[in-house]
Structure 1
């Protein structure tokens, strides 16, 4: 993980495997901002996390001058507005900014839930979820037409938001032995994710690949065991 010098006035409460936490780390590093990183244990949440984010009790939380900001999309916009003299993350034009926000919500509210359901949903719903996930990925594929990144020629807000699709989805696919995103089906998304991950700041702020795959293998096996136990109780 790449990080600027620690700043006692700004800290990030995060989690090594969270794509939402990594969004903030990437943005901070793109801006060249110093911060102190604090790893959280989601199974044993710290008093600081519960105090800083009492509503959702989740990472990431950015704390600056003692004031906490929660939710990754909110934090990204805060970072861009607060340090607007540095590399811009959001587009400058109002229409393009609005579209970036629209697609960011599409990713978080439509795309990611459908992908989760395709891998972890009830077996009788997984086929429908896979179709929905592919339809959502196809919408993003079309949004990339004629562009290297969602932000144009350089990494921007929507690219950072889509980090799950660029890296985490491949880890889940490998762990589950099931493919949703392939070069044959989504050539533009595949090229985009390769270019995104190749960026030095992005690459150095991604979780270790083998550790991430192992993490999802454990989750998948636990989900299977849970379903097996549930079926035995009802049969």
Structure 2
């Protein structure tokens, strides 16, 4: 199995993602909190996976378009969302199949750390956002993935590998570490201003449901969350 082949384990990944501590009780609530009030907004869920974020956004009144490079995960999203979202096969390393200003909000949940180069996807997110639009993004916290990688230089942008256990199988994953300053530089170069940087606590319910994971999430960096606005559209604080 090649690295990051989500089609090969789409069902196992989605089932785990639905209820685990890291996604259901940490990343997803934090991302949705940053997204804020979405009723009436046109939202692009970039890297929508099995549609968990999209379902929550739709329930809150958003009109959602989801894209993913995994046909297997998109099929799960289609079944989950039952026609309530437009779903397309697309790769973030290529231009997006949407017109300028097509969306009010882009949500990119745990997808950017799969990409070596952030330039094109961030420029494309900026392009498809309307005036006043925002990008809400979550990614690996660089203070988490650098110790995991074993690489000797935090300040480099570099590739590293990991393994996951899903459905009784070992899955080979490949990610890109980038230091914090490189993230900030990429946002600025793409025309974004940082509105919020968040390092949230996990949902308190995880303390009882997943005590070991809760302790880890509450004491060590795992993911990093940003709310970004088009530069010139709104003043960041």
TM-score, normalised with respect to structure 1: 0.32
Structure with the higher fraction of residues in helix conformation: 1
Structure with the higher fraction of residues in strand conformation: 2
